Amino acid sequence: MYFIYSTLLALGAALSSPYWLIKGIQERKYLATFRQRLGLSLPGMRQGPKPVWIHAVSVGEVLASKPLIKSLKSQHPSVPLAVSTVTVTGQHLARKEFGETARVFYFPFDWDFCVRRFLERIDPAAVLLLETELWPNFLKNCSQAGIPVFLFNGRISDKSIGRYRRIRWLTSRMIRALERIGAQTEQDRRRLIELGAPAAYVSVTGNLKYDLAAPPIDPGDELLQMIRAALGLAPSSPVIVVGSSMKGEETVFLDAFREIRRNVPDARLILAPRHPERFDEVAGLLESGGFAFCRRSQIGIAGQSGGDVLLLDTIGELRRVYSLATVAVIGGSFLPYGGHNPLEPASLGRAIIFGPDMRNFREMARLFVNEKAARQCPTEALAAVLIELLNDEQARSALGQSALAEFRKNQGATENTLRILQPYLI
């Protein structure tokens, strides 16, 4: 079975290699990671106890791992930590957040020779996977080496459940290779059991993302002052912050903004694309659309003026920028991308709007809508809903207060996760 899987993986890699080569040259973000993911340029590990290896695929998982890593370092300071990612943006954030406390590297390609090199070099005491990131050869080699692997923040989305069912012969083996599983919700727990997990080994631990530290934002923060100046913001200026927009959505948001400006002339827009490689593309859309805009990366540069729109073309600043929002709009939800995490604006008590497709955060979106902590609207109604909220301070305040209450009420996943891990760390 594993031979068939590895053969198919190699065949897929060979057939898609021209695409990835061209994409790597164009976007300059894949080729640099290739040698490390093959296991040819791994980071050195410190001498001493074996590390706990935490795998966080991308930015969302890196952020979710922050409270867990902080608690591990506090309660078990002698245990070394290693953190891996798949995406470049996740790697940059992990190095920024954990570079002083953990070894940070890219996750291996799922071929035996790559995985074995990693396991021999890292030699982990345990591996913690976040959000159902399962790789057959990785799990097989960990099992053969006697390395316990845990899955935390586990979820099975509506989209992925069908895929996992179609390859149940492989899925069940992967899931049974896990030592323990912490699921986000009861529905996720039921789906993991359906796919082969022993019921006794699966617990509902909650969503680690709710435990993200939410320190207050300093209103005098230099970044916020620069943005206020660039957009000419007065204390009462209405600001729409769109976080993590996806390809095709910017047209939706810009069309809505045109309509909003006819009704709320002093409104401003801050637009944060999800993927850094699209920053120039979105800048081109703004320019061709006739918008007066500025790029965050160019604020303060001589000769650069402000405008009505700010393009947030930087990484790691979105939460601070959400503090400027009169209304926060969650990208990835107005076209069929599955939506993004609404917890950053929720942690700041901001009024939140998301679109019809929040399947990636199904339970969270349902909870927020049911508790009147967010508004969900069709794509074609976005402008009308934004105009309504921008003109109704009481409605905005109620949404924001409910969002903050839900954020606080659902915390505790880190403590539940550590309770499961504790016997393995003594």
**pTM for this structure?**
0.76
Domain ranges in the chain are 2-207+411-425, 222-409
Q: Are 343 and 320 in contact (CB under 8 A)?
A: no
Burial 346-364 (b: 16+ CB within 10 A, else e): bbbbbbbbbbbbbbbbbbb
Please compute, for residue 329, the number of CA atoms within 13 A of its CA located in the half-sphere on the CB side: 36
Residue 154 has a pLDDT of 94
- Residue 133 bears catalytic tag: no
Residue 71 has a pLDDT of 94
Residue 124 has a pLDDT of 94
Q: Is 243 exposed, middle or buried (0-12, 13-18, 19+ CB in 10 A)?
A: buried
Q: Compute the C-alpha angle 37/41/42, nearest 5°.
A: 80
- Grouped pLDDT means (10 residues each) for the chain, 426 residues: 60 55 56 80 76 92 92 92 92 91 94 93 95 92 97 90 90 95 94 96 94 84 94 94 98 98 97 95 97 92 73 93 98 96 96 95 92 97 98 98 96 95 84
Fold of 222-409: Rossmann fold (3.40.50)
Residue 294 has a pLDDT of 95
Q: Which residue has the tokens 């207060």?
A: 401
Residue 35 has a pLDDT of 81
Residues whose CB is less than 8 angstroms from the CB of residue 47 and which lie 6 or more positions away in sequence, other chains included: none
What is the C-alpha to C-alpha distance for residues 328 and 144, in angstroms, rounded to an integer?
Answer: 48
Topology alike, domains 2-207+411-425 and 222-409:
yes
Q: Which residue has the tokens 């040259």?
A: 25
Query: What is each CA distance from 294 to 107, 229, 255, 323, 372, in whole angstroms?
Result: 36, 11, 18, 19, 34
Q: Are 322 and 328 in contact (CB under 8 A)?
A: yes
Residue 247 has a pLDDT of 97
Residue of 61, 97, 131, 133 with catalytic role: 61
Fold of 2-207+411-425: Rossmann fold (3.40.50)
